[in-house]
């Protein structure tokens, strides 16, 4: 695996109060490693550009720091959820590549 790639297993959750926004919280240990390696490359709102693969679907997006969880959040696009059959409370394994 490349230096900037991480394999993550996590559960998708629905953001309260914002219809349709689904996220994965990147585990704290992986988030800390990402911040240590790539935190100096952050962009607006502390985001980092990433490429994500779930199943057969790959897309580009950004991860965002969540100070409450002390971890990064990954939004899961609607079209990705539809293609891969992902809903809230679904456990998924994904490949996350930091694009810096």
List, for residues 46-96, the tens digit of each pLDDT value.
999 999 999 999 999 999 999 999 999 999 999 999 999 999 999 999 999
pLDDT bucket at 10, cuts 50 / 70 / 90: very high
Domain ranges of the chain: 5-98
State the Cα–Cα distance between residues 6 and 45, nearest whole angstrom.
22
Task: Write the DSSP string, 31-85.
Answer: HHHHHHHHGGG--GGG-EEEEEEETTEEEEEEEEEETTTTEEEEEE-HHHHHHHT
pTM of the model: 0.91
> Which CATH number describes the domain made up of 5-98?
2.40.30.100
Cβ 28 vs Cβ 71: under 8 Å: yes
């Amino acid at each position: 695996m490349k230096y900037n790639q991480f394999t993550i297993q996590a559960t998708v959750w629905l953001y309260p109060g914002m219809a349709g926004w689904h996220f994965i919280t990147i585990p704290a240990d992986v988030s800390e490693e990402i911040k240590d390696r790539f935190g100096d490359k952050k962009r607006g709102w502390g985001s980092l550009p990433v490429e994500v693969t779930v199943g057969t679907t790959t897309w580009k997006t950004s991860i965002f720091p969540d100070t409450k969880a002390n971890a990064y959040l990954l939004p899961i696009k609607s079209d990705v959820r539809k293609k891969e059959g992902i809903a809230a409370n679904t456990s998924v394994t994904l490949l996350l590549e930091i694009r810096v």
